Amino acid sequence: MAGAKPGVHALQLKPVSVHEVLKRGSKFIKWDEEAIPSLVTLKVDPDGFFLYWSGGTMEVLDISQIRDTRTGRFAKMPKDQRIRDTLGLGKGESNSDTKLLTVVYGNDLVNIFFLNFHAVQDGYCKVTTTTGPSPRYHIHAIVPSFSVLYTKLKLQVNQDGKIPVEGIKPDDFTWEMFQNFLNKLSPRPEVERIFVELGSKGKPFLSLDQLMDFINRKQRDSRLNEVLYPPLKRDQVHQLMERYETNASQLERDQISLMSFAKYLGGEENSLVPPERLDIIDDMNQPLSHYFINSSHNTYLTVGQLTGTSSVEMYRQVLLTGCRCIELDCWKGRPPEEEPIITHGFTMTTEISFKEVIEAIAESAFKTSPYPLILSFENHVDSAKQQAKMAEYCRSMFGDALLIEPLEKYPLVPGQQLPSPQELMGKILIKNKKKHQHRASNGGSIRRKDGTDEQFSPLNGVYTHNTPKPSLIHSNTKVTVIEMGTAYSEVNATEEMSTLVNYIEPVKFKSFEAAAKRNKYFEMSSFVETKGMDTLKNSPSEFVEYNKKQLSRIYPKGTRVDSSNYMPQLFWNVGCQMVALNFQTLDLPMQLNMGVFEYNGHCGYLLKPEFMRRTDKHFDPFTVDIVDGIVANTVKIKIVSGQFLNDKKVGVYVEVDMFGLPADTKRKYRTKTSNNNSLDPVWDDETFVFNKVVLPTLASLRVAVYEENGKFIGHRILPVSALRPGYHYICLKNELNQPLMLSSLLVYTEAQDYIPNEHQEYAEALTNPIKHLSLLAQRERQLLALMEDPTEVSHACRLYLDGCHLANVWQGMTHNNSPKTQRTQLLCKALHTLLKMCILCDSVLLCQANQKLREIAQECQAAQIKKLKEVCDKEKKELQKILDRKRLNSIIEAKKAEKDKAEAELNEINKKHINESVNLIRQVSRVVEMFMNVELFV
C-alpha cells in the first residue's frame, strides 16, 4: 500500500534546520594549493539549499552536491609549507588541525572535488560539520521547488551586490515577481485544463467542495483502508488551501485560484511517493537475513578491473551513499615495510595501504547509516605476521564498534537466528574465512584454500604451475575460475583474523540440502553472478528458502573488466541479501540500486517482503499467477508534461520501465519525441498500462528522460507499493540519485488492486451499478436505430423511458387501425419481447454474480477464520509463557518466605495458576467458536 494518506499528514522526517551560526556566517580562510589564500565569510541560507561564501565575488554550492564535510586530521592539510605558515599550521601547535575544514562535493563517486577552509576562530568547524543540513532529507529532493532557483539567484550577486541580469537589487526581486516571471516564461495550459475539468468552468477559482472532491476521488489511493486512512474532511482541505492560497478574500469564500492550485500540485502533500517513505519505516528488529543490504564489489576501484587507480577515498564515498557491505581485497605487502595492501590481484591497478583504508572506514562507517557495516575480506595475505597486523589495525581503529564476541542472546549454534540490525546498531562485522581447530598454522606460510598453493591469473587464464584448471560444478553447470576472478585464490585465516569473525562466516556452497542439514544461520556463501544465475534458474524456490535463514552474496563475474554491472533485481527476486555492484560505474543496474535504497532512511537495509521471510510460505519467483496472500496491482501512468528538462533547444522523450519479478518486468514504454522543446514539452496522450504486477512490494517503476540522441537527462525510481494515484510531479535525479534543481515531469497515475478480465464485469457492476443498469437502455436505443421510422422509434423510446407500461400502450392502440399505428404496435411488441429477454439475461447475470460474490465471501471468511485461529494459538502460547513465568516468579518469592509456609503457598500458587490458565483459554476458545458460528450474509 501507499503507506500514507494524501493531504495533511505528520511528516516523520526532521525538518531542515539551519544553525544560527551558519546563517550569520563565520570567517574562514579559503586556501588551495595553486592559489593565494583569501579571507571569506562562509554561510548557509535559511532554507538550507546552498553553502555560499563571499570574498571578492559570491560563490554558491548546492548542498545536494555535497558528499561530505571533514575536520581535524581527516581534513586536507596543505602540502606547501608557505601556506601552512600563512594558516598558522606550525609544528608547535598541537591543535592546529582542529580549525581545518574540507568540503567534498561532486556528481559521481569518482570525480569529486575538495574545498578547503581554515577557521579564524576555534569551534566553528565543529558547528559546520555537526549542524549543517543533510541533502538527503531535504524536501526538494522529493518535489521540485522553484524556491531553490529563486534563492540561488538572490545569492549570486556581483561585486556591486546586485543580481547580474540588468543589475536588479536582491531586495527588489521579490518571490511574487519571480513567480510571475516563471509563469510568463513557461505557461502551463495543461494545468489550466485540469483546473477547468475539475469544475471551474471558466471561473478563476475552485470551491472548497470541488477541491475536496478532487483530492478524495482523483488523488486518494483506492488500495488504502478507509478506516485507517479516511478521506479528507472539509477542515483538513481548508488547511491545505490556507497553505497555498495567498488571497485572503478568496480564502474567506473557501476558494482557491489557478496559481495556488498549481502550487498545491507541486507541494510536498501531493508528492507521488509519501515523504514518510524516506524515513525509517521498516521494522529493524528482524533477523539480519530478512533484509536486502546495499553492497559494493571491489570498493577500492575507480575505473575498470584491469588498469587504473585504486583509491582510499572510494571507501568513504561508497559508505556515504548508504552502502552497508564493502569489499577489501587484501594482499601481502613487500619488504621492508611488509604492510598489507589492497589491490586487484594479477592486474595493473595501483595499490593502496590497508591501514589507511581501515582508518577511512572508521571515520565514515556510520555517517550516513547507524546500522551494522559488513566488511567482506577477500584475503590473499599468505603471511601470518601480516594477517596479525590486519587484525590489530581492525581492533585498534574500530575500537568498541568492532563486534568480536557474539551477542549473548544469539550464540553461534545450529538453528539460532541471526541478530537484527537494531541489535547490531553501530557495529562492524567481519566476513573472512575462519580457522577451525583441525587446521594447523604452517609457521609464516599459509596454505591457500582447497589445498592449492598455485596462484591463478585472471588475465591470462593459466596457473603458475602445471595443474588442471579447476571449475565449480553445481547442478550440471560449470563456473570457471576466470569468472570467479581472484576469489578462488583466497588463503586460510590465522587465529588472529579468525577471532574477528562471528555472524558472517563464509563457507563454500555445496547444496541447499547440505546447508539445511548443517542449519547454521551464521554461515553464508558467495556466488559469482553466473553461478548465482544457474542456481536461480535450476532451484529458484530452494534459493528463496535458503535466503530466509542464511545470508548470500552475489558479485560480478571476473570477465566484466569494464566494471559493468548485472541487474540486481534478478537476485532480489530470490531474496539474496548482499547483491554487490561496482559503485564506480553508474550504469542502469547501479542507478536502480541507488534508487531502491534511497528509501527507509537511506540506511542501506530494506525489509524483504513477508513471504520471503516466513518459513511457512513458499514462493516461486517465476510465477505468473497471483501469490497467495498478496494483492496484485494494476499500474497506469500518463506523462502529461515536462518542465525545465534541459537548457538546450533539443527534442526530448520519456521512457517508462517496470522492474520486478520476471512476470512484472516490462520494458520499454516510450513517449513521442518533443519538437525541439525541452523547456516545457507537453505529451498528455498515451497512457502506459502495467496490467498485472504480481508482487508490488518488490517492483519499481523507472521514469527516465532522454535527449532525442539518447543522451541521459534524469530519472526517478519509484516503489510501486507506495505510488499515489492522481496528478503529481516527479522530481528528476541524476545518475548518482542527486536531485536536479528544476527538472520535473507532471504525470497522471493510477494504482489499484488487480482484477482479472473475467471478473471485470462484476467489479464494474459493483462499483458503478447505475452505469450497469443503463446498459439496457443503451442496447435498446442501438436496436431501435435500425428500425424504419426514426420518429416512431423516438416516440416508443420516450414511452419506455418515461416508465409507461407496454401493455397499456398496446391496449390504447388496438382501436386505431391506421398503418402508422400498426407499425407502432409491432414496435411495442418487439420492445416487450426485448424487455423480457433483457430481464431474463439480467436475472442470469445477477445469479452468477451472486454466486461468485458468495464464493469470494466464503473464501474471505475462511481465510479470516484461519488467521484468527493462528493468532489465537499464538496468543495461547504467549499467554502460557507469561503465566509460567509468573508462576516461577511467585515460587521463587515463596521460597524466600518461612519454610513452614512454603508448601501451603506453593499449593495455592499452583491452584491459582491452573484456574487462571483454564479460564483464559476457555475465553479465547469461546471467541473462536463464536466467530466460526457466525453465518455468512450475502
pLDDT in tens, 340-377: 999 988 888 899 999 999 999 999 999 999 999 999 99
Please, what is the angle between helix 790-801 and helix 806-813, to 10°? 130
**Looking at residue 146, what is its pLDDT?**
61
In tens, the pLDDT along 443-473 reads: 455 655 543 333 333 433 333 333 344 444 4
Integer Cα distance of 99 and 143 in angstroms: 37
Most confident region among 640-654, 850-864, 911-925 by mean pLDDT? 640-654
Task: Provide mean pLDDT across the span 802-830.
Answer: 52
- Alpha carbon separation from 559 to 280, 377, 562, 725, 927 (Å, rounded): 38, 21, 8, 43, 63
State percent of the chain over pLDDT 70.
73
CA-wise closest residue to 586 among 595, 578, 575, 577 = 595
**pLDDT interval class at 125 (50, 70, 90):** confident
Nearby residues of 143 by Cβ (< 8 Å), 6 or more positions away: 266, 267, 268, 270, 271, 729, 731
CATH 2.60.40.150 placement within the chain: 633-758
The three-state (H, E, C) secondary structure of 80-92, written as one string: CHHHHHHHCCCCC
| Helix ranges (DSSP H) in 757-818 | 760-767, 769-784, 790-801, 806-813
Q: Is 327 annotated as a binding residue?
A: yes
Integer Cα distance of 652 and 637 in angstroms: 18
Longest dimension (CA), the chain: 126
CA-wise closest residue to 823 among 854, 788, 847, 857 = 788
- Count Cβ atoms below 10 Å from residue 10 Cβ, excluding itself: 6
Task: List residues bridging with 744 in a β-sheet.
Answer: 643, 731
Task: Provide mean pLDDT across the span 478-497.
Answer: 69
**Looking at residue 485, what is its pLDDT?**
58
**Looking at residue 935, what is its pLDDT?**
47
Counting Cα atoms < 13 Å in the Cβ hemisphere of 663 gives 16
β-strands 50-54, 35-44: how paired? antiparallel
Q: What DSSP letter does each residue of 680-745 carry, written as one string?
A: S-B---PEEEEEEES-GGG-EEEEEEEETTS-EEEEEEEEGGGPPPEEEEEEEE-TTSPEEEEEEE
**pLDDT interval class at 667 (50, 70, 90):** confident
With a cut of 50, say whether residue 7 has pLDDT above it: no
**Looking at residue 459, what is its pLDDT?**
39
Task: Provide mean pLDDT across the span 568-585.
Answer: 96
**Looking at residue 834, what is its pLDDT?**
58
β-strands 523-528, 35-44: how paired? unpaired
Most confident region among 352-361, 754-763, 784-793 by mean pLDDT? 352-361
Integer Cα distance of 385 and 167 in angstroms: 69
Task: Provide mean pLDDT across the span 79-83.
Answer: 86
Q: Which three cell numbers stand for residue 400?
A: 568498541
With a cut of 70, say whether residue 899 has pLDDT above it: no
**Looking at residue 567, what is its pLDDT?**
96
485-497 burial, b at 16+ Cβ within 10 Å, e below that, comes to bbbbbbbbbbebb
CB contact at 8 A, 556 and 529: yes
**Looking at residue 832, what is its pLDDT?**
60
Catalytic entry in 118, 138, 290, 344 = 344
**pLDDT interval class at 134 (50, 70, 90):** low
CA-wise closest residue to 54 among 22, 28, 77, 76 = 28
**Looking at residue 932, what is its pLDDT?**
62
| Helix ranges (DSSP H) in 529-626 | 529-538, 540-549, 569-572, 588-596
CA-wise closest residue to 687 among 733, 720, 660, 654 = 654
- Count Cβ atoms below 10 Å from residue 65 Cβ, excluding itself: 20
**Looking at residue 65, what is its pLDDT?**
86
Specify the CATH class of 288-459+472-612 in words: alpha beta
With a cut of 70, say whether residue 50 has pLDDT above it: yes
**Looking at residue 907, what is its pLDDT?**
78
**pLDDT interval class at 687 (50, 70, 90):** very high
Is the model more confident about 7 or about 669?
Answer: 669
**What 3-state class would DSSP assign to 825?**
helix
Q: What DSSP letter does each residue of 288-321 carry, written as one string?
A: GGGEEEEEESSTTBSS-SSEE-B-SHHHHHHHHT
**Looking at residue 843, what is its pLDDT?**
65
Nearby residues of 646 by Cβ (< 8 Å), 6 or more positions away: 652, 678, 679, 707, 713, 743
Integer Cα distance of 657 and 492 in angstroms: 45
Integer Cα distance of 481 and 470 in angstroms: 7
With a cut of 80, say whether residue 857 has pLDDT above it: no
Catalytic entry in 297, 380, 715, 728 = 297
Question: In degrees to the nearest 10, what's the CA dihedral of 831, 836, 837, 839?
Answer: 120
CA-wise closest residue to 684 among 213, 204, 189, 225 = 189
**Looking at residue 765, what is its pLDDT?**
65
**Looking at residue 809, what is its pLDDT?**
45
Task: Provide mean pLDDT across the span 689-702.
Answer: 94
Task: Provide mean pLDDT across the span 186-214.
Answer: 86
Task: Provide mean pLDDT across the span 50-56.
Answer: 80
Most confident region among 162-166, 269-273, 884-888 by mean pLDDT? 269-273
Integer Cα distance of 674 and 708 in angstroms: 8
Question: In degrees to the nearest 10, what's the CA dihedral of 515, 517, 520, 523?
Answer: -20
- Alpha carbon separation from 329 to 397, 427, 431, 503 (Å, rounded): 19, 21, 12, 20
**Looking at residue 851, what is its pLDDT?**
74
With a cut of 70, say whether residue 578 has pLDDT above it: yes
**Looking at residue 801, what is its pLDDT?**
46
**Looking at residue 441, what is its pLDDT?**
46
Q: Is 298 annotated as a binding residue?
A: yes
- Alpha carbon separation from 476 to 94, 482, 488, 511 (Å, rounded): 65, 18, 20, 12
**Looking at residue 137, what is its pLDDT?**
46
**pLDDT interval class at 919 (50, 70, 90):** confident
**Looking at residue 80, what is its pLDDT?**
85
**What 3-state class would DSSP assign to 430?**
strand
Is the model more confident about 108 or about 564?
Answer: 564
**Looking at residue 534, what is its pLDDT?**
95
Task: Provide mean pLDDT across the span 246-264.
Answer: 89
| Single-letter amino acid code for the residue at 445 | S
Q: Is 378 annotated as a binding residue?
A: yes
**Looking at residue 18, what is its pLDDT?**
80
Counting Cα atoms < 13 Å in the Cβ hemisphere of 320 gives 28
Is the model more confident about 569 or about 456?
Answer: 569
Q: Lowest mean pLDDT: which of 69-73, 94-98, 314-318?
A: 94-98
Active site residue 297: yes
State percent of the chain over pLDDT 90.
42
Integer Cα distance of 305 and 484 in angstroms: 13
| Helix ranges (DSSP H) in 112-225 | 124-131, 146-155, 175-185, 189-195, 208-217
Task: Provide mean pLDDT across the span 503-522.
Answer: 96
Task: Provide mean pLDDT across the span 585-613.
Answer: 95
Nearby residues of 82 by Cβ (< 8 Å), 6 or more positions away: none
CATH 3.20.20.190 placement within the chain: 288-459+472-612
Task: Provide mean pLDDT across the span 47-70.
Answer: 83
**Looking at residue 894, what is its pLDDT?**
67
Task: Provide mean pLDDT across the span 856-883.
Answer: 75
Fold of 633-758: Immunoglobulin-like (2.60.40)
642 φ, ψ (degrees, to nearest 5): -125, 155
Task: Provide mean pLDDT across the span 40-64.
Answer: 83
Nearby residues of 914 by Cβ (< 8 Å), 6 or more positions away: none
Q: Which three cell numbers stand for residue 629?
A: 496472500
**Mean pLDDT score across all residues of the chain:** 81
62 φ, ψ (degrees, to nearest 5): -65, 125
Task: Provide mean pLDDT across the span 617-645.
Answer: 90
With a cut of 70, say whether residue 90 has pLDDT above it: no
With a cut of 50, say whether residue 938 has pLDDT above it: no
Integer Cα distance of 849 and 843 in angstroms: 10
- Alpha carbon separation from 764 to 294, 392, 849 (Å, rounded): 43, 69, 11
Helix, strand, coil percent values for the chain (each to nearest 5): 40, 20, 40
Q: How far apart are the first and last CA of the chain?
A: 27
CATH 2.30.29.240 placement within the chain: 17-132
Integer Cα distance of 925 and 938 in angstroms: 26
Counting Cα atoms < 13 Å in the Cβ hemisphere of 595 gives 30
Q: What DSSP letter does each residue of 136-168 carry, written as one string?
A: GG-GGGTS--HHHHHHHHHH---TTSSBTGGGB
**Looking at residue 936, what is its pLDDT?**
43
With a cut of 80, say whether residue 794 has pLDDT above it: no
Integer Cα distance of 564 and 567 in angstroms: 10
CATH of 17-132, picked from 2.30.29.240, 3.40.50.2300, 3.90.1150.220, 2.40.50.140, is: 2.30.29.240
Active site residue 436: no
Grid-cell match 521463587, residue found: 892
Integer Cα distance of 442 and 614 in angstroms: 45
**Looking at residue 428, what is its pLDDT?**
98
Task: List residues bridging with 536 in a β-sheet.
Answer: none
